[in-house]
Amino acid sequence: MPQPQGSKGQDTKKKVTIIEIADAAGVSKSTVSLVLTGRGAVKPETRQHVLETMDRLGYVYNRGAANLRNAQSRIVGLVLNDLSNPFFAEFAIGVEKVLQMAGYVAFMANTAESVVRQEQVMRMMREHGAGGIILCPALDTRPEHLDWVRAAGTALLVAIRRLPDVAVSHVVPENLAGASRITRHLINLGHERIAFLGGMHSMVVRQERHGGFLAAMEATGRNVDPALNLESMPTRDGGFGAMSAVLSLADRPTAVVCYNDVTAIGAMLAAARHGLVVGRDIAIVGFDDTSEARHVSPALTTVAVDPVGLGERAAALLLKQINDPAAEPESFIGPANLVIRESCGAYQRALAAAG
């Protein structure tokens, strides 16, 4: 009895499996599996023939089925809180570099600072058998949000933003010391009234950086004016707004320490709009040393935290943890070094002194 509906060719893409390959190649499914995994000893000609058959029939390996036995796939999840910040793009590049060498691939997802989305994304990654997850936590991530991940035995590493009171590996920059260092640099240049600008109070990173700022101010007997501590979203627009507010003050500061490079660049823009020459009329410094800092004009004095290096470190630590799940959590505090460029005015001062 002939089938009436003449569906021309492969209308319905039937999934081709290892068994069909085996049949077509005239071997057993076990042999095909052997070829696929490259584990056993299979005669070169047989291997070749199987490979050709797979090619001919358009075979797709089903990792899900395979993981049913293995339960360890070579993917790692990278959860980023803000893809539009180039800092995280650079961080991601470092992560990928190391993972790739170890034969892993990183699947990234963006949470856009939403805890709900973060939860959803991490669940997906776990369900797909990710070997581990590197998490740059969204703004108000609570420690208990991570319990379920760790309960299930997925390797987890928190990066960039420390989560206090969570017993999990961390990779973060030396925020306090870095902020202290750059503040001291401004003080050495003779500044008395210095503002701290950008970031939200609730962010741990801001607390650390602001702490470093305060430490340097107090250690040198500087007076800290609460009016010169301004919050803003950690974005260019945030920096622009906060700086505009600062400049409308009666008693302006002569120098500004910004939460990060992005806000610093926003602040520089605001200063320029007010007719100030950054580096001469006012000093503005940032934090992170993203590639933008080098390229902006005047070049931004900042604290280099080497985002790529942090990414590499994070990946390496995670891999270690994947390979030895029993290991204790381990943390890495990345160095934060002063990079003196033009926006702080040090260069101009040196010129003047020489001239």
Partner DNA sequence: TTCTGAAATTGGAACGTTCCAATAAACGAT
Partner DNA sequence: ATCGTTTATTGGAACGTTCCAATTTCAGAA
Does 34 bind DNA (CB under 7 A)? Our answer is yes
- Supply the minimum distance, in Å, between the C-beta of residue 123 and DNA: 13
Assess contact for 82 and 113: CB atoms under 8 A: yes
For residue 40, state whether it binds DNA (rule: CB under 7 A).
yes
Q: Answer whether the bond into residue 143 is a cis peptide, omega within 30°.
A: no
Find the part of the chain contacting DNA (CB under 7 A) among 29-37, 75-83, 87-95, 230-238. Answer: 29-37
From the centroid of its chain, how far is CA 133? 12
For residue 75, the surrounding DSSP H or E stretch is: strand 75-80
Which CB, 105 or 219, lies closer to a copy of itself? 105
Residues 6+ apart with CB under 8 A from 21: 29, 32, 50, 53, 54, 57, 59
221 Cβ neighbours under 8 A, 6+ residues apart: none
Q: How far is the CB of 124 from a copy of itself (least distance, A)?
A: 5
Considering the complex, what minimum distance in angstroms separates the CB of residue 17 from DNA?
A: 3
- For residues 184 and 216, give the distance between their C-alpha atoms in angstroms, rounded to a whole number: 6
State the binding partner of 143 from DNA, a copy of itself, none, CB within 5 to 8 A by kind.
Answer: none
Q: Which residue of 1, 8, 10, 43 would you call a contact of DNA, by CB under 7 A?
A: 43
Residue 96 interaction partner, one of a copy of itself, DNA, none, beta carbon < 5-8 Å per kind: a copy of itself
Name which of 64 and 335 has its Cβ closer to DNA.
Answer: 64
Q: Is 286 exposed, middle or buried (0-12, 13-18, 19+ CB in 10 A)?
A: buried
219 near DNA (CB under 7 A): no
- Of the pair 59, 240, the CB lying nearest DNA is at 59
Residue 304, CA atoms < 13 Å, CB-side half-sphere: 10
Q: Which is nearer to DNA, 61 or 148 (CB)?
A: 61
The window from 55-63, 105-113, 141-149, 156-164 that contacts DNA (CB under 7 A) reads: 55-63
Does 61 bind DNA (CB under 7 A)? Our answer is yes
The residue from 27, 76, 80, 233 that contacts DNA (CB under 7 A) is: 27
Per-residue tokens: 304? 């280099």
Q: How far is CA 217 from CA 46, 102, 204, 205, 220, in A?
A: 74, 45, 20, 18, 6
106 binds, among a copy of itself, DNA, none (CB under 5 to 8 A by kind): a copy of itself
Partner whose footprint covers residue 108, from a copy of itself, DNA, none (CB < 5 to 8 Å by kind): a copy of itself
30 vs 100, beta carbon nearer a copy of itself: 100
* Cα separation values, 277 from 217, 258, 284, 343, Å: 25, 17, 10, 9
Residue 306, classed as helix, strand or coil, is: coil
55 vs 251 by CB, closer to DNA: 55
Kindly state the tokens that stand for 277.
């020459």
Position 62 contacts DNA (CB under 7 A): yes
Q: Are 183 and 310 in contact (CB under 8 A)?
A: no
Scanning 33-41, 83-91, 221-229, 253-261 for contacts with DNA by CB under 7 A, the matching segment is: 33-41
Considering the complex, state which of residue 51 and residue 108 has its C-beta at the smaller distance from a copy of itself.
108
What is the contact surface with a copy of itself in residues (CB under 8 A)? Answer: 11, 13, 15, 58, 60-65, 67-68, 71, 73, 75, 83-84, 86, 89-90, 92-93, 96, 100, 105-110, 112, 117, 120-121, 124, 126-129, 148, 151-153, 236, 265-266, 269, 272, 291, 295, 297, 325-326
Residue 287 near residue 305, CB atoms below 8 Å: yes
Q: Which is nearer to DNA, 59 or 87 (CB)?
A: 59
Q: CA distances (Å), 191 to each of 58, 228, 345, 350, in order?
A: 69, 14, 11, 15
> Which residues form the interface with DNA (CB under 7 A)?
15, 17-19, 27-31, 33-34, 36-37, 39-43, 46, 59-62, 65-66, 68-71
